[in-house]
Amino acid sequence: MRTLSIVGARPQFVKIAPVCRAIQRRNAQGGERIDDLIVHTGQHYDPGMSDVFFQELDIPHAGIHLGVGSGSHGQQTARMLEGIERHILEHKPDAVIVYGDTNSTVAGALAAAKLHIRVVHVEAGLRSFNRLMPEEINRVATDHMSDLLLAPTPTAMRNLAAEQLGERSVYTGDVMFDAVLHARERAGESSQVLERLGLETHGYGVVTLHRAENTSASLLREVLATLDEVARSHIRLVFPVHPRTARMLREELADWKPVERLQVIEPLGYLDMIGLVDAARLVLTDSGGLQKEAFFLGVPCVTLRTETEWVETVQGGGNVVTGVARGPVTAAVASWLTMPARPTFGDGHDAPFGHGHAADEIVQALAKG
């Protein structure tokens, strides 16, 4: 079986790594071989958001790099669509595998569907029910174009069934749980991020911000004021700045200076980021992936959005969804800080994310046809 795997953004690099290992295990055991060719769209082209993940996670070299770079949603998706279509026609895969909910995801699905190539969607069925999010549009469109929908949770399976997609859907568990378990062990062996940054275990919080709705100039200024208040009054914060956010800080908010206990740093590699979060007291983020990573690691999360597609983290007691207003955010932080450093919500084993073997389930479902 020949497959093309379409990736282009940091979360997709994390998700594909366990799947690559599962394909290698299957091929070593005999039976029908899966020959997977990775297509890197170049949606994330900064080395700190791309190259380091391939190196640290032992992801096979991308055989094709489209180099699309930045641009509006339409420009970026159009360039991806053109490039992916060209390589599908050249390589004639039996299936195209797409991951998550980025522009790379929807471009890969659309190119394959138009050419009548089987589309396999890893992390299908997520819904925030907020169509203002570009990711929500990408998810819904990709799911309805896909032939095999691989769902990470029972909630995702229910969402797919509600949209009459249940017959194409398989519950596999969450491949990011596989990734976190693998990375946590490796980070414990190799990461020196706490020493480098002068941090003490449980003595700081981690912040990430990257979503478009939080990085407009006006709203970003409000969010930064909230973070300054949290750092000044509650706990030291470490803020690895996403390239999109960094650009806004340079171009629109150059007058902003973080308070002393808000430590702004460059993006981290995956192992350092897992090590940083694993030792943190809490996390504040608008990232869907980091909400789960924190939950798997047993670290409390404050989600800087008005909804989450990962409702299981809220139901499991590890995540509070606050939006970005100062009052709710600081109240949530203060509440977490009254609790033990490691609250008693699960490390993922008690949640419906599977048991760390999602990649093998994905490969098995792929091979069944």
Together in a domain, 164 and 218: no
Q: What is the pLDDT of residue 2?
A: 98
- Whether 22 is covered by a domain: the verdict is yes
Tell me phi and psi for residue 205, to 5 degrees: -115, 160
Q: What is the CATH number of the domain that holds 222?
A: 3.40.50.2000
Together in a domain, 231 and 250: yes
Together in a domain, 188 and 169: no
d(CA 41, CA 144): 22
Q: What is the mean pLDDT of residues 148-157?
A: 97
Cβ atoms of residues 330 and 226 within 8 Å: yes
Q: Count up the domains in the chain and report the number.
A: 2
Together in a domain, 188 and 170: no
Catalytic residue, chosen from 210, 234, 349, 357, is 210
Residue 234 catalytic? no
d(CA 11, CA 180): 12
For 108, which DSSP code? H
Question: Using CB atoms within 10 A of its CB, is residue 212 exposed (0-12), middle (13-18) or buried (19+)?
Answer: middle
Confidence of residue 360 (pLDDT cuts 50, 70, 90): very high
- Whether 346 is covered by a domain: the verdict is no
Q: How far is CA 47 from CA 44, 53, 189, 285, in A?
A: 8, 9, 23, 22
Q: What is the pLDDT of residue 293?
A: 95
Together in a domain, 123 and 242: no
- Whether 292 is covered by a domain: the verdict is yes
Q: What is the pLDDT of residue 243?
A: 86
Cβ atoms of residues 79 and 104 within 8 Å: no
Together in a domain, 27 and 82: yes
The owner of tokens 């297509």 is 39
Q: Tokens for 28?
A: 């070593």
Q: What distance, in Å, lies between the first and last C-alpha atoms of the chain?
A: 10
pLDDT digit string (tens) for 15-74? Answer: 999 999 999 999 999 878 999 999 999 976 565 556 777 888 889 988 999 998 878 889
Sign of the dihedral through C-alpha 311, 330, 263, 199: negative
Together in a domain, 147 and 207: no
Task: Enumerate residues 6+ apart whose C-beta is below 8 A from 138.
Answer: 101, 102, 103, 105, 106
Together in a domain, 211 and 134: no
Together in a domain, 52 and 153: yes
Q: How do 148-151 and 169-171 pair as beta strands?
A: parallel
Q: How far is CA 360 from CA 96, 265, 323, in A?
A: 18, 36, 36
Q: What is the pLDDT of residue 50?
A: 62
d(CA 235, CA 262): 9
The owner of tokens 């789960």 is 292
Q: What is the mean pLDDT of residues 324-342?
A: 94
pLDDT digit string (tens) for 219-270? Answer: 999 999 999 999 999 999 999 999 889 999 999 999 999 999 999 999 999 9
Cβ atoms of residues 308 and 133 within 8 Å: no
Q: Tell me which amino acid residue 217 is.
A: A
Together in a domain, 29 and 147: yes
Together in a domain, 323 and 207: yes
Together in a domain, 308 and 265: yes
Which has the closest alpha carbon to 261: 305, 199, 208? 199
The residue segments making up the domain with residue 72 are 2-174+354-368
Q: Tokens for 98?
A: 């797409």
- Cα–Cα–Cα angle for 57, 197, 49, rounded to 5 degrees: 35
